[in-house]
């Protein structure tokens, strides 16, 4: 398998920048792509070459597979890294990349396909000896079959879309009388969302935790598990806070989860980085939920406690190199927490916010990592997900990490649009969260209590406001240009030469 010289990063925001940095550390050049509103984004300037790919709507830019493949070929790339979201879990795209003579930095298309079909995934897991949630392993044909399955399992049950995932098209059914109408609703939702109406039935687990296992697999037959991430702190299927390790996972349970996860990945011929999601019941039993066949948003907490650069490992595996992870050394060290800082107003039902970032101070110092994709002058629109950046901390213990996260959250200054920052501070100060006493229903229950006092000056501290005003005034007084560099509008030979020169110096 050939080694790469140049990789096209088919994504935007923080993950594009994260991948470009990994490319540089691996000695590879990166090609960025950007839509019109992203022309001033940091990922554009971080790359060796940046290519405009279209207007704001993702369908005309970051989801345009043909254009991305053409761009990779035109710029002399050997590979495409899809990041997360967008084209990352589309088997036809992975196939088209290979067809074009390029490497896809991700699993084989067959593995994406097997895990994307949720009932096929359940059958495969069952065959591999991985525990699955009790329920059907084939789609049910109609509400009559669904009812038969439900009475076998006992209520409550969940109707799930076979083509679904991530909670879309899911319906909770509490009793027999509700199943016919629930079936119709779930089916039409599934058709709308995925273009396929097949549904299956699962026993509904009450108050579980969401635990996922990071795996890495190489072309030499090695599959390793990098422990768990605790992802129970979520709201409407959007994770807000993740951590590693989980307070609910003992070393013995970690071994069992890891064994199940490596069996799962091995059984579909997985390659690169992937994540097996489990529900951990209060009883201590765990069940396979689904596999995410991509790099995940929350990968950094695993990196910090295992000392592994997951994106560099992806790039190694894609070049046919062996994993640099040593099984004997796979012990979690210390504790990591991640807060997703989103452009959403927690005091207004988490309404997505838009506007221009006027002033930004990102946290740093001991044990702090900021994986961001925006800077002052950038505009936040509704075209893409609301993630502004991830604040990740490491500490020798969970208590240290919690203190450090609070310190780092107080250092963060975002002026121009509301963000989830203040909400994170309240979660960090919550006794239930501090004790580790939570499950997937935590925010549903604790959210209202945490938000009861309304917006307060805890983050809109007077000093930060003054700093922002001073910076604005100074800029105006000096008539200086805004602190952004204009990206190349066109890829002229001059632009490309200048970029290469700058790198060679
Ligand atoms: C479940 C469940 C309870 N029982 N399945 C939500 C997202 C999708 N990946 C699967 N989900 C769930 N499936 C059974 N049989 C509860 C959820 C669930 C959930 C899972 C993980 C993290 C957050 C969640 C929030 C609500 C529901």
Residue in the block written with tokens 């020798």: 396
- Based on the residue annotation, tell me whether 410 is a catalytic residue of this protein: no
pLDDT at 499: 58
- Across residues 313-335, what is the average pLDDT? 92
Residues in the chain: 505
Q: What residues contact 321, with CB distance under 8 A and at least 6 apart?
A: 3, 218
Residue located nearest, by CA, to atom 23 of ligand 1? 440
State whether the beta carbon of 237 lies less than 6 angstroms from ligand 1. yes
Is the pLDDT score of 115 beyond 80?
yes
pLDDT at 497: 57
- Across residues 323-338, what is the average pLDDT? 89
Is the pLDDT score of 492 beyond 60?
no
Q: How much of the chain, in percent, has pLDDT values that exceed 90?
A: 86
Closest atom of ligand 1 to CA, residue 203 = 15
Residue in the block written with tokens 């995925």: 194
Q: Which residues pair with 103 in a beta bridge?
A: 79
pLDDT at 494: 58
Residue 428 is inside which H or E element, if any?
helix 421-428
Residue located nearest, by CA, to atom 6 of ligand 1? 167
Alpha carbon of 202 to ligand 1 centroid (Å): 11
CA angle 119, 297, 396 (to 5 degrees): 115
State whether the beta carbon of 210 lies less than 6 angstroms from ligand 1. yes
Is the pLDDT score of 18 beyond 60?
yes
Residue located nearest, by CA, to atom 12 of ligand 1? 167
For residues 60 and 41, give the distance between their C-alpha atoms in angstroms, rounded to a whole number. 18
Least confident of 77-86, 102-111, 113-122, 454-463: 454-463
Determine the number of helices (DSSP H) and then strands (DSSP E) in the chain. Answer: 17, 22
326 three-state secondary structure: coil
pLDDT at 272: 98
State whether the beta carbon of 133 lies less than 6 angstroms from ligand 1. yes
Residue located nearest, by CA, to atom 8 of ligand 1? 167
State whether the beta carbon of 422 lies less than 6 angstroms from ligand 1. no
- Across residues 482-499, what is the average pLDDT? 54
Between 457 and 449, residue with greater pLDDT = 449
Buried b / exposed e along 55-92 (16+ C-beta atoms within 10 A): eeebeebbbbbebbbebbeebebbbbbbbbbbbbbbbe
Alpha carbon of 335 to ligand 1 centroid (Å): 25
| DSSP summary character for residue 457 | T
Alpha carbon of 157 to ligand 1 centroid (Å): 12
- Of the chain, the end-to-end C-alpha distance in Å amounts to 31
State whether the beta carbon of 212 lies less than 6 angstroms from ligand 1. no
Q: What residues contact 39, with CB distance under 8 A and at least 6 apart?
A: 52, 487, 489
- Across residues 444-462, what is the average pLDDT? 79
Between 496 and 366, residue with greater pLDDT = 366
Between 491 and 32, residue with greater pLDDT = 32
CA angle 283, 285, 289 (to 5 degrees): 125
Alpha carbon of 88 to ligand 1 centroid (Å): 22
State whether the beta carbon of 189 lies less than 6 angstroms from ligand 1. no
State whether the beta carbon of 58 lies less than 6 angstroms from ligand 1. no
pLDDT band at 484 (very low <50, low <70, confident <90, very high): low
The reported pTM is 0.92
245 preceded by cis ω (within 30°)?
yes
Residue located nearest, by CA, to atom 24 of ligand 1? 440
Closest atom of ligand 1 to CA, residue 206 = 3
Closest atom of ligand 1 to CA, residue 287 = 15
State whether the beta carbon of 158 lies less than 6 angstroms from ligand 1. yes
pLDDT band at 481 (very low <50, low <70, confident <90, very high): low
- Across residues 366-388, what is the average pLDDT? 97
Is the pLDDT score of 329 beyond 90?
no
State whether the beta carbon of 166 lies less than 6 angstroms from ligand 1. yes
For residues 295 and 308, give the distance between their C-alpha atoms in angstroms, rounded to a whole number. 14
pLDDT at 453: 83
Domains of the chain: 6-105 (3.40.50.20), 134-203 (3.30.1490.20), 209-458 (3.30.470.20)
Query: Mean pLDDT across the chain, nearest whole number?
Result: 92
DSSP-derived pairing of the beta strands 223-235 and 413-415? unpaired
pLDDT at 475: 73
pLDDT at 284: 96
Alpha carbon of 15 to ligand 1 centroid (Å): 25
Q: How many angstroms separate the Cα of 96 from the Cα of each of 64, 70, 71, 75, 365? A: 12, 11, 13, 17, 43
State whether the beta carbon of 113 lies less than 6 angstroms from ligand 1. no
Q: What is the pLDDT of residues 53-85, one digit of tens each?
A: 999 999 999 999 999 999 999 999 999 999 999
395 φ, ψ (degrees, to nearest 5): -145, 160
- Across residues 218-242, what is the average pLDDT? 97
Q: What is the pLDDT of residues 242-298, one digit of tens each?
A: 999 999 999 999 999 999 999 999 999 999 999 999 999 999 999 999 999 999 999
360 φ, ψ (degrees, to nearest 5): -145, 125
Selected catalytic residue, list 18, 294, 316, 340: 294
Q: How much of the chain, in percent, has pLDDT values that exceed 70?
A: 90
Q: How many CA atoms lie within 13 A of 36 on its CB side?
A: 7
pLDDT at 139: 96
Is the pLDDT score of 463 beyond 60?
no
pLDDT at 167: 72
Alpha carbon of 170 to ligand 1 centroid (Å): 9
User: 252: which 2 tokens?
Assistant: 């013995």
pLDDT band at 487 (very low <50, low <70, confident <90, very high): low
Is the pLDDT score of 504 beyond 60?
no
Between 21 and 194, residue with greater pLDDT = 21
Residue located nearest, by CA, to atom 5 of ligand 1? 204
């Amino acid at each position: 398998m050939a080694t790469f010289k140049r990789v096209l990063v088919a994504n935007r925001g923080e993950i594009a920048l994260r991948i470009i940095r990994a490319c540089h550390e691996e000695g590879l050049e990166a090609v960025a792509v950007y839509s019109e509103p992203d022309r001033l984004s940091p990922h554009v300037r971080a790359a060796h070459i940046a290519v405009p790919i279209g207007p704001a709507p993702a369908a005309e830019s970051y989801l345009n597979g043909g254009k991305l493949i053409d761009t990779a070929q035109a710029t002399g790339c050997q590979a495409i890294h899809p990041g997360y979201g967008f084209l990352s879990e589309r088997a036809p795209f992975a196939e088209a990349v290979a067809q074009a003579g390029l490497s896809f930095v991700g699993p084989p298309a067959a593995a994406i396909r097997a895990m994307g079909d949720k009932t096929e995934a359940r059958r495969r897991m069952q065959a591999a000896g991985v525990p699955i949630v009790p329920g059907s392993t084939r789609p049910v044909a109609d509400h009559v079959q669904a009812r038969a399955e439900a009475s076998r399992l006992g209520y409550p049950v969940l109707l799930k879309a076979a083509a679904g995932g991530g909670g879309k098209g899911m319906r909770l059914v509490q009793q027999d009388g509700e199943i016919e109408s629930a079936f119709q609703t779930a089916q039409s939702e599934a058709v709308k969302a995925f273009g396929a109406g097949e549904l299956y039935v699962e026993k509904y687990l009450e108050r579980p935790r969401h635990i996922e296992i990071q795996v890495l697999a190489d072309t030499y037959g090695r599959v390793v598990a990098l422990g768990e991430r605790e992802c129970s702190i979520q709201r409407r299927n959007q994770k807000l806070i993740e951590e590693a390790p989980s307070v609910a996972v003992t070393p013995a349970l970690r071994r069992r989860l890891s064994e199940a996860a490596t069996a799962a990945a091995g059984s579909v011929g997985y390659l690169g980085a992937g994540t097996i999601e489990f529900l951990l019941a209060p009883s201590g039993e765990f069940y396979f939920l689904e596999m995410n066949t991509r790099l995940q948003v929350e990968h950094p907490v695993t990196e910090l406690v295992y000392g592994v650069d997951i994106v560099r490992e992806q790039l190694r595996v894609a070049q046919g190199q062996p994993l640099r992870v040593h099984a004997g050394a796979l012990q979690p060290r210390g504790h990591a927490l991640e807060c997703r800082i989103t452009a959403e107003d927690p005091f207004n039902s988490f309404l997505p916010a838009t506007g221009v970032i006027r002033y930004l101070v990102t946290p740093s110092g001991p044990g702090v990592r900021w994986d961001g994709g925006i800077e002052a002058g950038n505009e936040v629109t509704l075209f893409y997900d609301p993630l502004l950046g991830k604040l990740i901390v490491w500490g020798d213990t969970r208590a240290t990490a919690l203190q450090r996260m609070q310190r780092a959250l107080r250092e963060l200054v975002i002026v121009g649009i509301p963000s989830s920052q203040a909400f994170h501070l309240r979660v960090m100060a919550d006794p239930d969260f501090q004790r580790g006493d939570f499950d997937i229903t935590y925010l549903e229950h604790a959210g209202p209590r945490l938000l009861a006092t309304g917006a307060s000056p805890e983050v809109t501290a007077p000093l930060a406001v003054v700093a922002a005003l001073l910076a604005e005034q100074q800029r105006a007084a000096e008539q200086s240009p805004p602190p952004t560099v204009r990206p190349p509008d066109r890829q002229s030979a001059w632009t490309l030469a200048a970029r290469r020169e700058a790198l060679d110096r």
